[in-house]
Amino acid sequence: MAPLVDDTPSNGIHHETEGSDTKPRFLIIGAGSRGNAYAAAIVRSGLGIVSAIAEPDDFKRHSFGQKYIWGPRPRRDPDEAFTSHHEWIQCERQRRSSEVAGFVTEPAIDGVFVCVRDDLHASIVTALAPLGLHIMCEKPLATALNDCLAIQRTVQAQPQPCIFAIGHVLRYSPHNMLLRHLLLEQKAIGEVLSMEHTEPVGYWHFSHSYVRGQWRKESTSAPSLLTKSCHDIDFILWMLCSATPEGSEGQSHLPSTVSSVGSLKQFRRSMKPKEAGSATNCLACPIKDSCLYSASKIYYDRHLAKGITKWPVDIVNPEIPHILQTQGKDQAKAALLASLSSDYDAKTTPVPDIEDKQWYGRCVWESSNDVCDDQTVTLTWDDVQSTQRGAKTAVFHMIAQTLAQCERRGRIYGTAGEISYDSKAITVHNFVSGETQSYEPEVPVNSHHGGGDDGLTECFVRAVRAVKDQGMGVREAQEKFLGCSLEDVIRSHAMVFAAEEARTEGRVVEWDEWWRRNVVDGK
Q: Report pLDDT digits (tens) over 385-409.
A: 766 788 999 999 999 999 999 999 9
Q: State the first-to-last Cα distance of the chain, in angstroms, to the nearest integer.
A: 29
The secondary element (H helix, E strand) that includes residue 410 is strand 409-414
Q: Tell me the pLDDT band of 213, cut-offs 50, 70 and 90.
A: very high
pTM of the model: 0.93
Task: Quote the mean pLDDT of the chain.
Answer: 92
What are the pLDDT digits (tens) for 223-254?
A: 999 999 999 999 999 999 975 555 555 578 89
**pLDDT of 288 strictly over 60:** yes
Judged by average pLDDT, the poorest of 226-230, 329-333, 443-447 is 443-447
**Contact (CB, 8 A) for 459 and 482:** yes
Which helix or strand (DSSP H or E) is residue 91 part of? helix 85-100
Kindly state the average pLDDT of the residues 189-218.
97
- Residue-wise pLDDT for 107-129, tens only, equals 999 999 999 999 999 999 999 99
Tell me the average pLDDT across 429-434.
96
Residue ranges and CATH numbers for the domains of the chain are 13-170+453-482 (3.40.50.720), 191-266+370-414+486-512 (3.30.360.10), 269-355 (no CATH)
Phi/psi of residue 195, each to 5°? -140, 135
Beta strands in 145-206 (DSSP E): 164-166, 192-200
Task: Give the percent of the chain with pLDDT over 90.
Answer: 87
- 244/366: higher pLDDT: 366
Q: Flag whether pLDDT at 18 surpasses 90.
A: no
Give the mean model confidence (pLDDT) for residues 42-67: 96
Q: Listing from the earlier edge strand, what are the strands of the sheet with 509-510? A: 436-439, 426-430, 417-421, 409-414, 192-200, 392-399, 374-381, 257-263, 509-510
Peptide bond before residue 312 is cis, with ω within 30 degrees of 0: yes
Peptide bond before residue 24 is cis, with ω within 30 degrees of 0: no
Q: How confident is the model at residue 77 (pLDDT cuts 50, 70, 90)?
A: confident
Mean pLDDT value across residues 343-372: 95
Quick one: average pLDDT of 461-477?
95
Region label for 365, one of left (φ > 0), alpha (ψ between -120 and 50) or beta (otherwise): alpha
